[in-house]
Amino acid sequence: MGEPTLRGRDYIETRDFSLIEIEHLLARAVELKADFHAGKLTARLPNQTIFLIFFDKSTRTRNAFEAGATQLGAHAHFLEPKSLQISHGESPKDTGIILGQMGHGIAIRHDLIPGMGNAYMREVASHAEVPVINMQCDVDHPTQTLADIMTIRERFGDDLRGRKIAVTWAYAPSYAKPLSVPQGLVTLMPRMGLDVTLAHPPGYELMPDVVDYARTAASEAGVKFEIVDSMDDAFEKADIVYPKSWGSCELMLGKRDAADDAAVARIEAECLAMNVRFTDWICDARRMKLASEDAIYMHCLPADRGAEVTDEVIDGPQSVVYQEAENRLHTAKAIMACTMRERPF
């Protein structure tokens, strides 16, 4: 059986891809990273164009795709809805058709309002004749989690059975962050052979269908999936710790029906007021000692220093956040190269 051909495929959730297809993307990312460090040219998408639509701010994702497209010989257009006819109500159908006619790929970040981003991307994808890539939505962050598993394998090897990842909520005072990173982790990591412990305070439950999928994936893979309400319990003997803040899904759903910016601001304030009840949910040196001796600390960044994590941990020897961030570049390149290429890669 040959390698899978992913040309023309949308990359919206890792759940949409088989394990063989995910392994194919990871293998390409490893090759592209090696070529990058060896100074080799990787112009696999010469003269192609990808449109990057950002409904939310970005540092790592935007630059991974822009730099990645350049390194592949392609060009990335950064687009904000406020500068497009999207801001005047242009439909996902029209956006998908027109951009699909002008380029070779469309990537979208639309992550702040539960119930909107994923649906928008799938609507664009249903009308575009080019691949649509999810740069983070309300449900999943599939470019991030691909980089995460790449980073974990660089530390622990490809066979991860018997290893435990703790995906835990952490306090943040900055804003009500999307649920997509923890949701992406609990849906992908069991499939990759990791035991997964999800921890959060009451009121921070993930979307029910995501949790159901994680349980099923763990059962099919023969690994463990559990939910606890203690950060300490999650860290106990963990090989990978991933403390990450996210907002209350129940409260954030209200943003979908909010009448104006003032209503959205009120919901945001409610979320932050709720967060303040759990300021002790922080990744610090004491908690790191609960984990395995060779445990690694991960975060998608930006981390709220002094709230989600102490400087001692994020800047310490167990932190792999910068290696993880670099891998965003190489996994973005792999996704673009495999889905946008004229021939299989």
Global pTM exceeds 0.85 = yes
Q: CA 286, 287, 293, 298 torsion: positive or negative?
A: negative
Closest Cα to residue 110, out of 75, 94, 86?
Answer: 86
**With contact defined as beta carbons under 8 Å apart, do 38 and 66 qualify?**
no
Share of the chain above pLDDT 90, in %: 91
Confidence of residue 28 (pLDDT cuts 50, 70, 90): very high
Confidence of residue 342 (pLDDT cuts 50, 70, 90): low
| 258 residue type, one letter | A
Provide Rg for the chain, Cα atoms. 19
**With contact defined as beta carbons under 8 Å apart, do 74 and 336 qualify?**
yes
Q: Is the pLDDT of residue 1 over 60?
A: no
Domain 142-325, CATH among 3.40.50.1370, 3.40.50.1100, 3.50.50.60, 3.40.50.300: 3.40.50.1370
What are the phi and psi torsion angles at 244 (to 5°)? -150, 130
CATH number for the domain formed by residue range(s) 14-140+327-340? 3.40.50.1370
pLDDT tens string 41-92 = 999 999 999 999 999 999 999 999 999 999 999 999 999 999 999 999 999 9
DSSP 3-state of 77? strand
DSSP 3-state of 180? helix
pLDDT tens string 287-299 = 999 999 999 999 9
At 256 the pLDDT is 82
| 29 residue type, one letter | A
pLDDT tens string 190-243 = 999 999 999 999 999 999 999 999 999 999 999 999 999 999 999 999 999 999
How far CA 21 is from CA of 220, 278, 330, 339, 340, in Å, comes to: 18, 39, 16, 11, 15
pLDDT tens string 244-272 = 999 999 998 888 877 688 888 898 999 99
DSSP 3-state of 196? strand
End-to-end CA distance of the chain: 15
Please state, in angstroms and rounded to a whole number, the distance separating the CA atoms of residues 287 and 26: 31
Query: What value does the mean pLDDT of the chain take?
Result: 96
How far CA 209 is from CA of 15, 116, 229, 333, in Å, comes to: 12, 16, 19, 30
Q: Where in the chain is the domain with CATH 3.40.50.1370?
A: 14-140+327-340, 142-325
At 344 the pLDDT is 52
Q: Is the pLDDT of residue 97 over 90?
A: yes
**With contact defined as beta carbons under 8 Å apart, do 313 and 285 qualify?**
yes
**With contact defined as beta carbons under 8 Å apart, do 264 and 176 qualify?**
no
At 112 the pLDDT is 87
Confidence of residue 6 (pLDDT cuts 50, 70, 90): very high
